[in-house]
């Protein structure tokens, strides 16, 4: 456990609503403990603002243990801040030094309008999943869980892809605001499993076309998405998706 | 008003035939008529998402409400360990009957036998369903599903997807839901919070929802309302629940006539990362699988502040191994938590705060090597190090109990219907299946059982019997207007207080009171004191709370204020329930009711029942009704883990 509280300067994006132009606002915060999480530091700032009678800063957060994918901040220009494989809620203030200036901004992408301050609308991701990110099987219609053996290797690879938390750091970090890492993770998970393979070609076509329709950009292989992903989703999923997409496009009726 | 004896509507017949027979006896709705019925599902965790998907598949129109930006965020996602099922794939003697038996006993005989049997019965279909959805469960090299043992069970019946089972099951249910969104059978309302239940002619017919983005109140009507809104652990401020997890939807239903069952039954999980300071916002659970290899200890001497590795073995107290020689470090959750509290109360707690005990892997690393331990727990060790900046391979982890799950919840009958006709309650939000203590890997099972395999049958029977379509209601009905007005005036009142104290400061104070007096050990004097303190806190809240910002657009302070006002009232009910239940059972430990060895002592003669509380008014004590519990298959016995 480390001692020694810090004083920080914060530059935080404030924007009243989607239509407001928005601006950076400077704050200072004293007595920040290195053991606090980044969001607890934001709570502390909000408590201070409330006590001064000001409107608190809106930001998305929920589980605060790195799994729900709700938290979403650009911290000093990096999605989820400076630590690898870490969501904002799991980033601790010991990653900063006394006297640091910390810049906090929302995810920025055409498909994710800012709703207030640091909150953005990521419902485009739900729309992509609704376009095909599922297996068409109704409740009650399932064979025994062991009826179809699945190789451990494929089950593990599917799980690697399924670990995506849908936070959208990949989109925020990409200069093209491409959603390909997110989309390919779901496509890969289902393509690697016999249950999902059945509808694989139809799925890849409809999810990719929904992704394009919603205004996400294309992939130009810079791998910023992979570098910023708090769950380590690999860009090899994008390659798998592209392969499947081309095959499916050639075969399309 | 007289005290009622509630009827759980448990079907007749032998326990293993009840559900089959009941399914046959229930009335059906013709497939082409199902589309005439509209169902509101509030909450999209495991219970809500699975119910919404399944009901839509059957043909009902479903409106699903979720508090986050997407149904995929619900806190079911954080469950780590796994999900139980009686598949008996490992051939180690498991069966539906054994899962039923373990769950009744684990719940310390305060759950309905019939419900628990049904849960065990449908557990296998849940696994099949999830596999079919593409949930990537762990597999063996031969391609079959992998199992592990969990939570003190003597068989391996837990299915898992690494340490992210809850995430994978939730994403499975979410994808099933999105499949129905694709077909326009489910309409999802995200960033909405239910702020009122609308009851017309004694039946639940809709809700008032607040749009968190615009601040607008909306009217939604339906033929039935399903509450799938999770537990109320956040009454304690600090818990392993997500920040948005709250009790307000359930509390509004309670105030509209739904009885609250066993509110004092709270599960305090023994292995969480300890509190670091006053600014802590939530607690993080470390999977209890760690107790398979970690040894729990504190120094023998009070106030021994030496670094742990400098404390020699003969000056350490491995208290779980000492007190429970046969279960040792694997003693159940409630027992282990209480022992940690005793050690801390004796001044033998460790770490800067003194509110922690050690979980030490030194001996396991010596025995099996660091690599073997890393293979088993690597991700948990990394998570611990990330949060505490300490390396658990070198120094023991510090752990302390934290509020994790609430077994109590809205009272429901066997059909999952509350005491308000047309209002059904699923998952953690109901009180039904875990009794006074939930076993590990059973929460996911219950949420999905309720949503995939119970409600599709019982809801159809309600529609076929009650025929709500014959008395159609729209949101133009005066009850909707009335409910909307009362919600609007509540939010206005929260602004109007215009006091000096932040919402969080009230929530933290409530948490301290609850943890101190309604936590791991409760006694009459403390509970009475707690009730007084909470009542004062409520008065002070409505005199001095400060809600900044405006009611147009996003206002997190206003959202929190609305929830905390409800938490305060619920906290009082929990203390009342704990005060009236003058026995110890499962997670509810009354200091006055213990064995010579300081273990929980049940009083089956006077308390073999569910307490179901009926709301009167905020300033009038609620009524305590009971539902008697009968144990015909698992015989009442004292739990012993010695």
Selection from B240, B167, B82 nearest residue A68 by Cα: B167
Closest CA–CA distance from residue A123 to any residue of chain B (Å):
7
Tell me the three state secondary structure of residue A250: helix
Q: How far apart are CA B338 and CA B316, in angstroms?
A: 19
pLDDT greater than 70 at residue B152: no
Contact B75 A63 (CB under 8 A): yes
Closest CA–CA distance from residue B445 to any residue of chain A (Å):
15
Q: Is B215 on the interface with A (CB under 8 A)?
A: no
Q: What is the mean pLDDT of chain A?
A: 96
Which chain B positions have a beta carbon within 8 Å of A50's beta carbon?
502-503, 546, 548, 557
Contacts of A212-217 spanning 24+ positions with Cβ under 8 A: A214/A111, A214/A124, A214/A127, A214/A128, A214/A179, A215/A110, A215/A111, A215/A124, A215/A177, A216/A109, A216/A110, A216/A111, A216/A124, A216/A171, A216/A177, A216/A178, A216/A179, A216/A180, A217/A174, A217/A176, A217/A177, A217/A178
The pLDDT, as a whole number, for residue B165 is 94
Contact A162 B77 (CB under 8 A): no
Of A82-96, A105-119, B139-153, B267-281, the poorest mean pLDDT is in B139-153
DSSP B577-638: HHHH--S-BTTB-BTTSB-TTS-B---HHHH-EEEEEE--BTTBPPEEEEEE---SSS----
Of A137-151, A194-208, B366-380, B490-504, the poorest mean pLDDT is in B366-380
Tell me the three state secondary structure of residue B539: helix
Task: Report the percentage of chain A scoring pLDDT > 90.
Answer: 96
DSSP code of B438?
P
Q: Is A20 on the interface with B (CB under 8 A)?
A: no
Q: How far apart are CA B295 and CA B287, in angstroms?
A: 14
A116 vs B162, B279, B554: nearest CB: B554
Q: How far apart are CA B69 and CA B510, in angstroms?
A: 28
Closest CA–CA distance from residue B555 to any residue of chain A (Å):
7
Selection from B266, B236, B514, B269 nearest residue B402 by Cα: B269
Q: Is A198 on the interface with B (CB under 8 A)?
A: no
Measured CA distances, B444 to B84, B118, B166, B174, B226 (Å): 8, 15, 7, 14, 18
Q: Are A44 and B57 in contact (CB under 8 A)?
A: no
Chosen for mutation from B132, B390, B456 (greatest number of chain A CBs closer than 10 Å) is B132
Q: Is A35 on the interface with B (CB under 8 A)?
A: yes
B132 vs A37, A44, A195: nearest CB: A195
DSSP code of B521?
S
Contact B68 A68 (CB under 8 A): yes
The DSSP bridge partners found for residue B260 are B410, B613
Closest CA–CA distance from residue B175 to any residue of chain A (Å):
5
Q: Is A58 on the interface with B (CB under 8 A)?
A: yes
Which chain B positions have a beta carbon within 8 Å of A71's beta carbon?
none
HSE of B272, CA atoms in CB hemisphere, 13 A: 25
The count of other CB atoms within 10 Å of the CB of residue B307 is 9
Q: Is A165 on the interface with B (CB under 8 A)?
A: yes
Contact A50 B546 (CB under 8 A): yes
Contact B127 A145 (CB under 8 A): yes
Q: Is A47 on the interface with B (CB under 8 A)?
A: yes
Closest CA–CA distance from residue A224 to any residue of chain B (Å):
23
Q: What is the pLDDT of residues B499-553, one digit of tens each?
A: 999 999 999 999 999 999 999 999 999 999 999 999 999 999 999 999 998 888 9
Do the bridges between strand B260-261 and strand B609-614 make them parallel or antiparallel, or are there none, so unpaired?
antiparallel
| Torsion, Cα of B126, B129, B135, B137 (10° steps) | 50
Q: Are B117 and B16 in contact (CB under 8 A)?
A: yes
The segment(s) of chain A belonging to CATH 1.10.1060.10 are 122-251
Query: Closest chain A residue to B389 measured between Cα atoms?
Result: A1
The secondary element (H helix, E strand) that includes residue B85 is none
Contact B281 A158 (CB under 8 A): no
Closest CA–CA distance from residue B373 to any residue of chain A (Å):
20
Q: What is the pLDDT of residues A105-115, one digit of tens each?
A: 999 999 999 99
The pLDDT, as a whole number, for residue B80 is 87
Q: What is the mean pLDDT of chain B?
A: 95
Q: Is A76 on the interface with B (CB under 8 A)?
A: no
Provide mean pLDDT across the span B630-642: 86
Where do the H-state alpha helices sit in B134-261? 165-182, 248-255
Tell me the three state secondary structure of residue A56: coil
Which chain A positions have a beta carbon within 8 Å of B139's beta carbon?
150-152, 155-156
A123 vs B190, B284, B556: nearest CB: B190
pLDDT greater than 80 at residue A49: yes
Calculate ∠ Cα B174-B176-B181, nearest 5°. 90
Q: Which residues, numbered 168 to 187 in chain B, qualify as contacts with chain A under a Cβ-Cβ cut-off of 8 Å?
A: 168, 171, 174-176, 178-179, 181-182
A122-251 CATH: 1.10.1060.10
Of A78-92, A205-219, B591-605, the poorest mean pLDDT is in B591-605
Q: How far apart are CA B537 and CA B526, in angstroms?
A: 16
B289/B17: higher pLDDT: B17
Q: Are A200 and A191 in contact (CB under 8 A)?
A: yes
Contact B131 A16 (CB under 8 A): no
Q: How far apart are CA B132 and CA B110, in angstroms?
A: 34
Cβ contacts of residue B440 below 8 Å, gap of 6+?
B81, B82, B150, B151, B152, B158, B288, B333
Contact B556 A189 (CB under 8 A): no
pLDDT greater than 60 at residue B439: yes
pLDDT greater than 50 at residue A2: no
The segment(s) of chain A belonging to CATH 3.10.20.30 are 6-105
Q: Is A220 on the interface with B (CB under 8 A)?
A: no
pLDDT greater than 70 at residue A1: no
Contact A126 B57 (CB under 8 A): no
Question: Does the domain spanning B18-77+164-268+405-470 belong to CATH 2.60.40.10?
Answer: no
Q: Is B244 on the interface with A (CB under 8 A)?
A: yes
B270-403 CATH: 3.90.700.10
pLDDT greater than 90 at residue B195: yes
Q: What is the pLDDT of residues B47-99, one digit of tens each?
A: 999 999 999 999 999 999 999 999 999 999 999 889 999 999 999 999 999 99
Query: What are phi and psi for residue B410, nearest 5 degrees?
Result: -65, 135
The pLDDT, as a whole number, for residue B330 is 84
Q: Is B26 on the interface with A (CB under 8 A)?
A: no
Which chain A positions have a beta carbon within 8 Å of B239's beta carbon?
none
Tell me the three state secondary structure of residue A87: coil
Query: Closest chain A residue to B133 measured between Cα atoms?
Result: A135
Which chain A positions have a beta carbon within 8 Å of B557's beta carbon?
50, 56
Which residue reads 């009038």 in tokens? B620
Q: Is B378 on the interface with A (CB under 8 A)?
A: no
DSSP B2-67: PPPB----PPSS-TTTHHHHHHHHS----HHHHTT-EEEEE--SHHHHHHHHHHHHHT-EEEEE-S
Calculate ∠ Cα B312-B314-B318, nearest 5°. 100
Q: How far apart are CA A237 and CA B478, in angstroms?
A: 54
Do the bridges between strand A74-75 and strand B623-628 make them parallel or antiparallel, or are there none, so unpaired?
unpaired
The DSSP bridge partners found for residue B261 are B409, B612
Chosen for mutation from B131, B174, B383, B504 (greatest number of chain A CBs closer than 10 Å) is B131
Closest CA–CA distance from residue A176 to any residue of chain B (Å):
23
Q: How confident is the model at residue A33 (pLDDT cuts 50, 70, 90)?
A: very high
Provide mean pLDDT across the span B200-204: 97
Measured CA distances, B604 to B105, B113, B524, B623 (Å): 14, 15, 19, 21
| Torsion, Cα of B379, B384, B385, B388 (10° steps) | 170
Which chain A positions have a beta carbon within 8 Å of B43's beta carbon?
none
Q: How confident is the model at residue A3 (pLDDT cuts 50, 70, 90)?
A: low
Cβ contacts of residue B482 below 8 Å, gap of 6+?
none
Contact B504 A150 (CB under 8 A): no
Provide mean pLDDT across the span B248-264: 98
Q: Is B563 on the interface with A (CB under 8 A)?
A: no
List chain B domain ranges. 18-77+164-268+405-470, 270-403, 478-602
The pLDDT, as a whole number, for residue B431 is 97
DSSP code of B409?
E
Q: How far apart are CA B235 and CA B578, in angstroms?
A: 15
Query: Closest chain A residue to B55 measured between Cα atoms?
Result: A139
Q: Which fold has domain B478-602?
A: Methane Monooxygenase Hydroxylase; Chain G, domain 1 (1.20.58)
Provide mean pLDDT across the span A95-114: 97
Do the bridges between strand B266-272 and strand B397-406 make them parallel or antiparallel, or are there none, so unpaired?
antiparallel
Q: How far apart are CA B115 and CA B126, in angstroms?
A: 16
The pLDDT, as a whole number, for residue A253 is 64
Query: What are phi and psi for residue B414, nearest 5 degrees?
Result: -55, -30
The pLDDT, as a whole number, for residue B551 is 85
The pLDDT, as a whole number, for residue B151 is 64
Question: Does the domain spanning A6-105 belong to CATH 3.10.20.30?
Answer: yes
Provide mean pLDDT across the span B373-387: 88
Q: Is A143 on the interface with B (CB under 8 A)?
A: yes
DSSP B367-405: HH-HHHHHHHHHHHHHHHHHHH---TTTS-EEEEEEEEE
Length of chain B: 642
A142 vs B132, B546, B550: nearest CB: B132
The count of other CB atoms within 10 Å of the CB of residue B423 is 25
Q: Is A29 on the interface with B (CB under 8 A)?
A: no
Which chain B positions have a beta carbon within 8 Å of A135's beta carbon?
132-134, 175, 179
Q: How confident is the model at residue A200 (pLDDT cuts 50, 70, 90)?
A: very high
A139 vs B57, B242, B556: nearest CB: B57
Do the bridges between strand B423-425 and strand B224-227 make them parallel or antiparallel, or are there none, so unpaired?
parallel
Q: How far apart are CA B343 and CA B301, in angstroms?
A: 11
Burial class (CB in 10 A: 0-12, 13-18, 19+), B464: middle
The secondary element (H helix, E strand) that includes residue B186 is strand B186-189
Which chain B positions have a beta carbon within 8 Å of A92's beta carbon?
386-387, 389
Task: Report the percentage of chain B scoring pLDDT > 90.
Answer: 88
């Amino acid at each position: 456990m480390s001692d020694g509280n810090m004083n920080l300067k914060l530059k935080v994006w404030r924007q009243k609503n989607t239509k407001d132009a928005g601006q950076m606002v400077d704050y200072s915060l004293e007595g920040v403990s290195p053991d606090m999480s980044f969001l607890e530091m934001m709570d502390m700032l909000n408590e201070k603002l409330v006590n001064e009678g000001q409107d608190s800063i809106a930001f998305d957060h929920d589980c605060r243990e790195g799994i729900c994918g709700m938290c979403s901040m650009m911290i000093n220009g990096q999605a989820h801040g400076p630590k690898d494989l870490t969501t904002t809620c799991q980033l601790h203030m010991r990653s900063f030094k006394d006297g640091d200036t910390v810049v906090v901004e929302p995810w920025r992408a055409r498909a994710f309008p800012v709703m207030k301050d640091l909150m953005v609308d990521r419902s485009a991701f739900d729309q992509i999943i609704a376009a095909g990110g599922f297996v068409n099987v109704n409740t009650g219609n399932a064979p025994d869980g062991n009826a179809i053996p699945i190789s451990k290797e494929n089950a593990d690879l599917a799980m690697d892809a399924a670990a995506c938390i849908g936070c959208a750091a990949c989109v925020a970090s990409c200069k093209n605001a491409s959603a390909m890492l997110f989309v390919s993770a779901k496509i890969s998970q289902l393509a690697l499993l016999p249950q999902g393979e059945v509808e694989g070609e139809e799925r890849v076509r409809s999810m990719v076309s929904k992704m394009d329709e919603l205004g996400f950009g294309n992939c130009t292989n810079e791998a910023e998405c992979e570098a910023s992903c708090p769950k380590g989703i690999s860009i090899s999923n994008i390659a798998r998706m592209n392969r499947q997409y081309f095959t499916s496009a050639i075969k399309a009726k | 008003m007289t005290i009622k004896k509630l009827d759980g509507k448990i079907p007749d017949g032998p326990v293993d035939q009840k559900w089959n027979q009941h399914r046959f006896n229930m009335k059906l709705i013709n497939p082409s008529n199902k589309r005439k019925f509209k169902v509101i599902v509030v909450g999209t965790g495991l219970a809500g998402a699975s119910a919404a998907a399944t009901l839509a598949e059957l043909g009902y129109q479903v409106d699903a409400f979720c508090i986050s930006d997407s149904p995929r965020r619900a806190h079911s996602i954080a469950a780590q360990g796994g999900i139980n099922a009686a598949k008996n794939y490992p051939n180690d003697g498991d069966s539906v009957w054994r899962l039923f038996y373990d769950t009744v006993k684990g719940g310390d005989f305060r759950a309905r036998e019939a419900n628990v049997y049904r849960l065990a019965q449908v557990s296998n279909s849940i696994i099949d369903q999830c596999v079919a959805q593409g949930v990537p469960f762990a597999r063996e090299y031969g391609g079959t599903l992998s199992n592990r043992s969990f939570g003190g069970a003597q068989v391996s019946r837990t299915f898992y997807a690494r340490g992210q089972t809850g995430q994978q099951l939730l994403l499975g249910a979410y994808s099933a839901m999105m499949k129905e969104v694709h077909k326009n059978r489910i309409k999802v309302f995200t960033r909405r919070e239910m702020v009122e239940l609308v009851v017309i002619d004694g039946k639940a017919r809709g809700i008032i929802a607040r749009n968190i983005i615009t601040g607008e109140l909306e009217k939604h009507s339906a033929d039935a309302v399903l509450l799938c809104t999770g537990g109320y652990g956040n009454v304690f401020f600090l818990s392993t629940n997500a920040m948005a997890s709250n009790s307000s939807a359930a509390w509004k239903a309670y105030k509209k006539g739904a009885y609250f069952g066993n509110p004092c039954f709270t599960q305090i999980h023994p292995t969480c990362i300890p509190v670091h300071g006053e600014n802590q916002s939530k607690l993080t659970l470390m999977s209890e699988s760690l107790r398979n290899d970690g040894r729990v200890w504190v120094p023998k001497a009070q106030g021994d502040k030496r670094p742990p590795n400098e404390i020699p073995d003969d000056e350490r107290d491995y208290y779980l191994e000492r007190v429970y020689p046969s279960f040792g470090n694997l003693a159940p959750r409630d027992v282990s938590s209480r022992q940690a509290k005793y050690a801390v109360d004796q001044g033998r707690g460790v770490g800067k705060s003194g509110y922690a005990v050690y979980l030490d892997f030194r001996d396991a690393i010596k025995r099996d090597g660091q690599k073997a331990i890393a293979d088993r727990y690597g991700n948990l060790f990394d998570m611990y190090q990330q949060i505490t900046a300490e390396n658990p391979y070198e120094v023991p982890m510090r752990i302390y109990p934290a509020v994790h799950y609430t077994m109590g919840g809205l009272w429901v009958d066997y059909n999952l219907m509350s005491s308000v006709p047309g209002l059904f309650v699923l998952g953690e939000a109901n009180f039904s299946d875990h009794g006074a203590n939930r076993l590990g890997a059973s929460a996911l099972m219950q949420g999905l059982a309720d949503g995939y395999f119970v409600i599709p049958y019982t809801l159809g029977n309600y529609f076929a019997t009650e025929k709500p379509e014959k008395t159609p209601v729209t949101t133009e009905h005066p009850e909707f207007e009335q409910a909307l007005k009362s919600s609007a005036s509540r939010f206005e009142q929260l602004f109007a207080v215009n006091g000096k104290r932040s919402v969080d400061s009230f929530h933290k104070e409530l948490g301290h009171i609850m943890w101190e007096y309604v936590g791991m050990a409760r006694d009459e004097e403390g509970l009475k004191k707690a009730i007084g303190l909470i009542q004062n806190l409520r008065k002070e809240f409505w005199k001095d709370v400060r809600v900044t910002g405006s009611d147009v657009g996003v206002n997190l302070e206003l959202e929190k204020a609305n929830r905390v006002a409800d938490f305060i009232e619920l906290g009082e009910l929990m203390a009342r329930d704990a005060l009236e239940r003058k026995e110890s059972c499962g997670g509810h430990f009354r200091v006055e009711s213990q064995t010579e060895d300081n273990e929980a002592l049940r009083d089956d003669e006077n308390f073999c029942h569910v307490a179901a509380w009926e709301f009167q008014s905020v300033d009038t004590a609620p009524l305590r009704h009971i539902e008697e519990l009968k144990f015909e298959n698992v015989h009442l016995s004292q739990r012993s883990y010695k």
